[in-house]
Amino acid sequence: MADQSSPPDVADVPRVTTKTVQEMKEAGVPIAMLTAYDYTSARIFDSAGVDVLLVGDSAANVMAGHETTLPMTLDQMIYHAQCVVRGIDRALVVVDLPFGAYQGDSKEGLQSAIRVMKEAGAHAVKLEGGAAVTDSVEQMVTAGIPVMGHLGLTPQSIYNFGTYQVRAEAEEEARQLRKDAQRLEEAGCFALVLEKIPAALAREVTASLSIPTIGIGAGDQTDGQVLVSHDALGLSTDFNPRFVRRYAHLSDTIADAVGAYVADVRTRSFPAEDESY
């Protein structure tokens, strides 16, 4: 008979839901989140055990080559999300609402979130900001859409910040971030990304919230971690902040493989007889 007193192995569930990530926080099981933008990568990441796949608007940088995330459109996000959703069996798929799809008008924000859920089959949306977006969060949550918040270095506000440096080092900004985190939880967010803030502040915010926090450049005491997959896998080579750990050097691996293919074509050693009809 199963031991009724032991906690469920939440990291092993067949399908990760918002309830699962909440249970992971409560059980002290760190949540692994990674970005994905296409079907093939999503299949690999999902089968490797990633809990949450974020269809990030960082697609603007790593897929489209833009300098910032601002040019990303809602239609483009929906396309990437559709590709990712087709590739998963287990992971929770969270999709970024892009710049311009929710700021300022909570009704437009709700319509954007509904499109992402309906047209892409996403499981949740993510948006950036604190007090300014709590109306949008409330409307989405009321409509049954799970929302992940995002505080700290929010890239859609890069022109406001003027720099990609660590946020909330000054006490006034830290105080505002603590307040925003509380408001997002009260508005109904199921989780919160904390990007590039001091580890001590991330630890404090994590302890003060009942919803899970997912850190990127926010130290080791958040409830989970997220990285942009192109950074973690070494596909992007020109972005080297200290919070990125490279788990592979795929850029080199791919360049070597493609170089070998080109050489084989030039020397007519590809295709061989058994690769021909």
As annotated, the active-site residues are 195
Identify the residue among 46, 51, 57, 231 touching ligand KIV (CB under 6 A).
57
How far apart (Å, rounded) are the C-alpha atoms in residues 155 and 175? 20
Q: Is 215 in the site for ligand KIV (CB under 6 A)?
A: no
Interface with ligand KIV, residue 156, by CB under 6 A: no
Q: Where are the alpha helices (DSSP H) in the chain?
A: 18-27, 39-47, 59-62, 74-86, 106-120, 134-142, 158-161, 171-187, 199-208, 229-232, 250-266
217 part of the interface to ligand KIV, by CB under 6 A = no
Buried b (16+ CB within 10 A) or exposed e, 106-141: beebbebbebbbeebbbbbbbbbbbeebbbbbbbbb
Q: Which is nearer to ligand KIV, 164 or 270 (CB)?
A: 164
Q: Which member of 20, 22, 41, 58 binds ligand KIV (CB under 6 A)?
A: 58
Q: Could you tell me which stretch among 4-12, 55-63, 99-107, 260-268 binds ligand KIV (CB under 6 A)?
A: 55-63
Applying the rule CB under 6 A, the residues between 96 and 115 that interact with ligand KIV are 96
Residues 18-47 within binding reach of ligand KIV (CB under 6 A): 35
DSSP sequence for 129-181: -SGGGHHHHHHHHHTT--EEEEEES-GGGHHHH-S-SPS--SHHHHHHHHHHH
Query: What is the nearest approach in angstroms of ligand KIV to the Cβ of residue 82?
Result: 17
Q: Which of 24, 56, 113, 233 binds ligand KIV (CB under 6 A)?
A: 56
Binding site for ligand KIV (CB under 6 A): 35, 54, 56-58, 96, 193, 195, 216, 226, 228
